[in-house]
Structure 1
Amino acid sequence: MNETVRTSLFVAGAVLSLIAAQVTSRGVTKPPAEFSQVGTPFYPDFVDADAAKSLQVVNYNPETASLRIFGVEQGSDGVWRIPSRNNYPVDGKERLGKTATSIIGIKKEALAGPRKSQHIEFGVLDPLSESVSDYQGVGNRVTLKDGKDGKVLADLIIGKEVKGRSGFFYVRNPSEDQTYIAKVSIDVSTKFADWIEPDLLKLDGSKLRYINIEKHSVEFGQDGGGSLAGKESNQLTRTSATDKWKLDGLDDATEEVNEDEVRKLVQALDDLKIVGVRPKNEKLKKRLQDDQGLALDDRTRREMEEIGFFFVRMPDRKGMAMISQEGDLAAVTEQGVAYELHFGSVFSGTEEEVEAGFINKGEEKSDANGKEAENKEKNDEADAKTDARKIKSRYLFAQAQFDPSALGPKPEAPVRPEAPAEAAAANEDTPADAAAAENVGEKPDPKKAYEEALAKYDIDLKKYEADVKAYEEKVKTGEKLVKDLNRRFADWYYVISGDSFENLRQGRKTLVKPKSTPENAAGQSSPAGNVDAQDAPDSQDASAN
């Protein structure tokens, strides 16, 4: 082999070695960045749940073809509120803490897919994206921010559950295309009632002693004047929780209280839930907070008449009386708390509209992500789907007063006995007294009788002092309960469900039933019959202008 051939072979070998080395190095490729993140948290810097000062949840309701945007946030005053629900205060702060904690623990368990085209398949389309056309494949977006500069602590779109893997979902960061599989155990409710104290009255039904239902309806004529139709009044009383309720005006010979319906009434008061709120104007709020009563300025009058509360001047021309669209209910507890519930107009709307009123969805969505709302065609489609799902509810104006008479009679001080006169004690018995003393075998001793009466007085005095202290404590407790309730009631008109309204606004037709007799039990007819007071011809009219 000559030198030229040998040199050529060495060069060829070197080239082949170099190519082999390059091929080998290319075989050990670095994994894509999305694979390298598997096993890491979505937001590794978010480690303190208390840092979260606002939460927003956005989901899509396929039944109504609409977005539901719900959030809570802490204001500068430290109070947590729901911005999209008229800034109503939140009682569910612990729920936010649990949500934040559960998001901290979410890790990227596996890569589901790196491409944007897979988002519909995984159900992780951004519900706030203006590129979404029919909301098919959208997920639930959960965003947590701090309270300093609105910095995002976590922002995730949670999609469909992975088939065959309970508790695992497709999850995506809205700013990234890749979708991961993650174990998710977040219970983020967008229901208004889950974030507030829904028990409006904080009333214990066993403590109720008096209920008065003033039932009527305001009807307006073509001239704009109003009158009361179906007017009736029903008063129920009992002296203790174990006593049966008594109804005034009951014909004991033929009628009895319908205990099942009264039980519904008491339960409705005990468990009366808020389903929506509307704010009162600032002037009215201030007056009610200061216990100054209603301020009947033009704005307040218009505001209240729009939801079914009207005012008429009293016959003496010295004041105004409020007339509610659908009557009133007064309920008094043994604690001296007298609740006044006034029923206004009916309100029909979607669940979201019942909670906060008619919200402009376009404005709400624009506020949420800085983008314009969906086009008119899409909104019309949503309206068509929701019209059939309107929820009927009722406006409620609530107040409370303290009624000391409900506490029972005030303790009366015992009378100290008078000491017998010495002269009288020293006098001899009269013949009649002597005869009496001879009959009983001993002479009456005024001094001893006085000492016994005095000892009894001392015992009665101590009991009286203890009773007075207990009574004063009841007064103090009752007054505080009323004050706390009115502070809560002052800022809001409430909305209650249609079912709650029907259970509260009962009349004689439901509260009374024919008295049970042996003949009734045997299936024979009873001479008793129900009287529907709404059909009575003596309904009273009142102006409601």
Structure 2
Amino acid sequence: MNEGQKTGLFCVIGAVMLAVGLFVSWPASEREEFSVAAGKELFENFKDPLAAASLKMVSFDEAQGQVDTFEVRRDRETGVWTIPSRKGYPADAVEQMKDAANALVGLQILDVQTRNAEDHEALGVVEPKLEALEVGDVGVGRLVTFRDESQKDLASLIIGNPVKDEEGRRYVRKPGQDPVYVVELDEAALSTKFQDWIEDDLLQLSSIDIQSMRIEDYAASMSSRGFSIDRNYTAVVAADGSDWRLEKLLEYPSDNPLADPVEAKVDPSQVVNKEKLNDIKNALDDLKIVDVVRKPDGMSANLRADKDLVSDNEAVQSLVDRGFLPVQARPDAPVEVLSANGELDVTLNDGVEYVLRFGNVSGLSEEDSSEDSEEDSDTGTGVNRYLLVTARVDEEQFPAPELKPVPQTIEELAAMLGVEANKTPETAEEASEEPATEMKSEEPAEAEEADTSKDDTEEADAAEESSDEPESTESEMKEESSAEETPAEESPAEETEAVEETTPSEEPATENPPAEEAPETPASESPETPSSEVGEVEVEGSGEATGAGQGDEDDAVATSDEDSDEIAFADLSDEEKQERLEAEQEKILKENTRMLDARKDRLNAAKRRVGDLNARFADWYYVIPETTYRELRIDRSELLTAAEDASATPGAGQPAGPGSVGPMQIPGLNAPR
């Protein structure tokens, strides 16, 4: 082969290689763009939103020249959602993830805006690649990518600018492709705000369950000499429905904040500021966070610092930077964490106590609005603040129950029952004398019954004589008819019958009992007591028996029971007394066990609740808005306020105002003399 042929062959091979290279390097979008047109779905293979196991959203900060990444992922083994971009903080993402995935499922192309890559910047669909961007770059879009459990892409989209004058429509494109499409996209579910993807109720408490609060108002800081602390006051307030009660108020000497506090004297004309305290209670119920930062590994759930943490300079610096100071009050005291801006302890009625420690300012949050900044322009323009939260059990709510003593001997049982173990001669004598005593005490009552029986007997005799006489006159017939038809007039006869049944009669019973013929003799014929007066006397007597005499009856029953126990226990045989002792022992032991178990159950429930809470709180610094911090704090000057003016309420020596109800007027008693 001559040189000319060789040269021609090389040219042919070069042309073929050039054609292959051009084909391979030709953009995929140019080959695929003709298969994607208006009316088609942008992701035809993405049908099931539940198939999405992770979501990653990348955006570009033009001012800082950096790429921000937000990611939510479901663990394949546990199924728990976490936020890797926040060091694995737990996410409440089941519904949120489904809504976000549905934003791309079935997404249709409304129009193809352009196929020219030079238009990407103007439409805001430049891909956010850190290596290709720098400070000041514009037109960078937000990259949204869904993947399945095997980390295979289900859908990936760059979201650009909104379409002018067409609400809800956006310019979008697929990464690596030039065509820019117009779609109708709801971006609300594709939020990169941290708080939209987490459990927003941090404390998970209800304001109505708050029993008391302990406010520790102090400021701690670190200096070259060590730490310094400026204590203002400590107050304990207890909730009483919608009102509050001041339990304790301690103040510290201004020249020595480490000295023991003294009880402050409260002016009687002042009360706690319940409006402010209710605001704190409501803020606790609605406490939300805007960010989290993982705590040093050496910190435990109860916020006590161990020796390893104190010796770890990096961990100590992490705490100090956020306003939390590990200090040791005495050489033998444990190392604890003080906060830069005081503490708030909140106790619930189930025995769970929250401890909130307020640290330093953390900076602006991503959701701070211009409106918030204007409102807070005089105090720092909407900054945030670090917060440490822990939970513990309030042991004071679980006092040991007062157990009943268990008698060990028959004598101890007798002493517990208030009786004597054995029947002594004196006891027997007293028992024999008791009936006579009772008879003596009943003599006046029997005398009264005898008098009453005598009167009733006379009336009954009169009734008998009238029944033996000839037929009554016409006027007597009318009175008899009137007596039978008036129910109110039957009561004296009925009571006469009751008295006759209960009172022994010395005369033999007649064929026609007086009680049955009593209605024939109207009570009005009795010269001593008119029927109306009899009725009044009966009602008054009934009331006395029901009201004033009830206590005497109860005392009599109780005394009778004690006497019967004394007599019954003393009369028991030794074997029966032993059985009674064992029965009482079993009864008391069961009651004591029930009380101990009830306390144990409540205490264990509180411990489990505290354990669950600390499992969530242990690893994190929380970040709360400055506005929330202000709602949770109260100055000494705000704690107490003047009591409401009570002069408007009529009291002793004050006349009742218009519309008020004066004292009840009783005729004959309230009349002026």
- Is the TM-score greater than 0.5? yes
Residues 506 and 428 of structure 1: CA distance in aligned 2, closer, same or farther (over 3 Å): same
**2:160 counterpart of 1:159:** yes
Opposite residue 428 of structure 1, the aligned amino acid is E
Which runs of 5 or more residues in structure 1 are unaligned? 1-30, 354-387, 522-545
Corresponding residue to 2:143 among 126, 141, 144: 141
- TM-aligned CA distance change 1:338 to 1:471, over 3 Å: same
What corresponds to 1:502 in structure 2? 630
Q: Kindly report which structure 2 residues correspond to 1:62-461, keeping only aligned pairs within 5 A, or say none.
A: 68-75=68-75, 78=78, 79-128=80-129, 130=132, 134-148=136-150, 150-163=151-164, 165-186=166-187, 187-219=189-221, 223-238=224-239, 240-249=240-249, 251=266, 253-284=268-299, 287-288=300-301, 293-297=304-308, 298-299=311-312, 300-315=315-330, 317-351=332-366, 391-406=382-397, 410=401, 412=403, 418=417, 421=421, 423=423, 427-429=428-430, 437-438=438-439, 441=442, 444=560, 446=562, 448=564
Is the deviation greater in 252-261 or in 462-471? 462-471
Alignment-mate amino acid for residue 109 of structure 1: L
SS at match of 2:104: helix
Separation (CA, whole Å) in 2 of partners of 1:166 and 1:457? 82
Does residue 474 (structure 1) correspond to residue 602 (structure 2)? The answer is yes
Identity %: 28
Deviation of the 1:338 alpha carbon = 1.4
Task: Provide the rounded CA distance (Å) in 2 between the counterparts of 1:340 and 1:514.
Answer: 30
Kindly provide the amino acid, as one letter, of the partner of residue 126 in structure 2.
L
Equivalence map 1:507-522=2 (5 Å): 507-517=635-645
Cross-structure match for 1:11: none
Name the CA shift for 1:474/1:140 in 2 (closer, same or farther; >3 Å): same
Q: Which amino acid aligns with 1:34?
A: F
SS at match of 1:126: coil
Asked whether the equivalents of residues 52 and 153 of structure 1 are also in contact (C-alpha less than 8 Å), the reply is: yes
Contact between 2:290 and 2:365, CA under 8 Å: does it hold in 1? no
Deviation at 1:236, TM superposition (A): 0.8
Structure 1 residue 33: Cα displacement: 4.5
Question: Aligned in 2, Cα 1:229/1:292: closer, same or farther, shift over 3 Å?
Answer: closer
Residue 536 of structure 1 aligns with which residue? none
Amino acid at match of 1:86: K
Structure 2 gaps, min length 5? 1-30, 250-264, 369-378, 407-412, 443-555, 570-579, 650-673
Partners of 1:321 and 1:131 in 2: CA distance: 46
CA distance in 2 between partners of 1:389 and 1:40 (Å): 51
What amino acid maps onto 2:612 in structure 1?
D
Classify 1:181/1:464 alpha carbon distance in 2 versus 1 (closer, same or farther; 3 Å). farther
Separation in 2, partners of 1:305, 1:97: 40
Structure with the larger RCO, 1 or 2 (CA within 8 Å, 6+ apart): 1
Q: Structure 1 residues 407, 451: closer, same or farther in 2, change over 3 A?
A: farther
Deviations along 1:389-447, one digit per CA (max 9) or x if unpaired, are 97522222222111242257747559886376462697132799668634654994646
Return the structure number with greater helix share.
2
Higher mean displacement: 447-456 or 295-304: 447-456
The corresponding residue for 1:52 is 52
Contact kept? 1:198, 1:275, Cα under 8 Å: no
The Cα of 1:295 is off from its aligned counterpart by: 2.1
How big is the shift at 1:352? Answer: 8.7
SS, match of residue 107 in structure 1: coil
> How many Å separate the matches in 2 of 1:511 and 1:124?
55
Once the two structures are superposed, what CA deviation does each residue of 1:20-63 show, in whole Å capped at 9, x if it has no partner?
A: xxxxxxxxxxx994375332222222223233222122345689
C-alpha separation between the residues in 1 aligned to 2:163 and 2:603?
Answer: 60
- C-alpha deviation, 1:461, in angstroms: 9.4
Contact 1:216 1:231 (8 Å CA) reproduced = yes
Report deviation, 1:184: 1.9
Is this contact kept in 2: 1:414–1:457, CA < 8 A?
no
Q: Distance in 2 between matches of 1:293 and 1:451?
A: 64
Give the direction of change, closer, same or farther, for the CA distance of 1:317–1:461 in structure 2 (3 Å limit).
Answer: closer
Deviates more, 1:126-135 or 1:180-189: 126-135
Deviation at 1:503, TM superposition (A): 2.3
State how far apart, in whole Å, the 2-side matches of 1:400 and 1:125 are: 48
User: Relative to 1, partners in 2 of residues 1:389 and 1:518: Cα closer, same or farther, differing over 3 Å?
Assistant: closer
Q: Do the aligned partners of residues 123 and 323 (structure 1) sit closer, same or farther apart at CA in structure 2, a change above 3 Å counting?
A: closer
Give secondary structure in 1 for the equivalent of 2:327: strand
CA contact (8 A) 1:274 1:496 kept: yes
Counterpart in the other structure of 1:373: none
Deviation for aligned residue 1:208: 1.3
Moved more, 40-49 or 458-467: 458-467
Quote the residue 1:42 is aligned against: 42
Residue 349 and residue 428 in structure 1: after superposition, are their counterparts in 2 closer, same or farther (change >3 A)?
Answer: same
CA contact 2:125–2:159 (8 Å) conserved in 1? yes
State the shift of 1:492 in Å: 1.4
Offset of 1:194 from its aligned partner?
A: 0.9
1:478 Cα deviation (Å)?
Answer: 1.1
Per-residue deviation at 1:99? Answer: 1.1
Instruction: Determine if contact 1:208/1:241 at 8 Å carries over to the other structure.
Output: no
8 Å CA contact retained: 2:62, 2:135: no
Q: Determine the structure 2 residue equivalent to 1:491.
A: 619
Cα distance in structure 2, aligned partners of 1:515 and 1:63: 54
Q: What's the TM-score, normalizing by structure 1?
A: 0.70
CA RMSD across the alignment: 4.1
1:440–1:188 distance in 2 versus 1, CA, 3 Å:
farther
- Do the aligned partners of residues 497 and 436 (structure 1) sit closer, same or farther apart at CA in structure 2, a change above 3 Å counting? farther
CA contact (8 A) 2:64 2:135 kept: no
Check the 8 A contact 2:65/2:133 in 1, yes or no.
Answer: no
CA distance in 1 between counterparts of 2:208 and 2:364 reads 34
- Could you say what secondary structure the match of 2:430 adopts? coil
- TM-superposed deviation, 1:349: 4.1
Range 67-76 or range 394-403, more displaced: 67-76
* Deviation of 1:325 (Å): 1.8
- Name 1:22's counterpart in structure 2: none
Taking the aligned partners of 1:96 and 1:414, their CA distance within structure 2 comes to: 61
More deviation, 342-351/437-446: 437-446
Q: CA–CA distance in 2 between the matches of 1:399 and 1:220?
A: 23
Amino acid in the other structure paired with 1:305: V
Partners in 1 of 2:145 and 2:567 — Cα distance? 81
Partners of 2:620 and 2:561 lie apart in 1 by 71
| Alpha-carbon separation, structure 1, partners of 2:84 and 2:56 | 10
Task: Give the AA of the match of 1:270.
Answer: D
Indicate the SS of the match to 1:265: helix
Bigger Cα Rg: 2
Higher alpha-carbon deviation: 89-98 or 77-86: 77-86
